[in-house]
Amino acid sequence: DTGVSQNPRHKITKRGQNVTFRCDPISEHNRLYWYRQTLGQGPEFLTYFQNEAQLEKSRLLSDRFSAERPKGSFSTLEIQRTEQGDSAMYLCASSLLGESNQPQHFGDGTRLSIL
């Protein structure tokens, strides 16, 4: 069990640029979640996948945001035309479907800073 891996750990970019983050879940986990965490707040749900299917999206996920999990393994989160308000920590988590009480295991996140 190597844990959930997220890359890059930090991303600094200018407003208006596109960014893409990657998440590699724990290998046998079939559910994958994306969250956004801003300073002084708990993680806020963005979207989740079961295998390759995107099952739910939060209203926080504007049309500038897109997430994929093409083969049901790793996932990417892309933000187009970044804005100052996108600055946050983006967290990925994974869990095992089968028992509904399985906890989510989190990666260390990607911190995005918009200049």
Partner 1 sequence: AQSVAQPEDQVNVAEGNPLTVKCTYSVSGNPYLFWYVQYPNRGLQFLLKYITGDNLVKGSYGFEAEFNKSQTSFHLKKPSALVSDSALYFCAVRDRGYSTLTFGKGTMLLVSP
**Residues lying near partner 1 in the complex (CB under 8 A):** 4, 6, 33, 40-45, 48, 55-56, 91, 93, 100-101, 103-109, 111
For partner 1, the closer CB: 45 or 80: 45
In sequence order, the 6+-apart residues with CB closer than 8 A to the CB of 111 are: 9, 10, 11, 88, 89, 90
Closest CB 103 distance from partner 1, rounded Å: 4
For partner 1, the closer CB: 22 or 105: 105
Q: Which residue in this structure is represented by tokens 């079961």?
A: 50
| CB of 92 closer than 8 Å to CB of 6 | yes
In sequence order, the 6+-apart residues with CB closer than 8 A to the CB of 49 are: 31, 32, 33, 55, 67, 69, 72, 75
For partner 1, the closer CB: 12 or 18: 12
Closest CB 81 distance from partner 1, rounded Å: 26
For partner 1, the closer CB: 27 or 100: 100
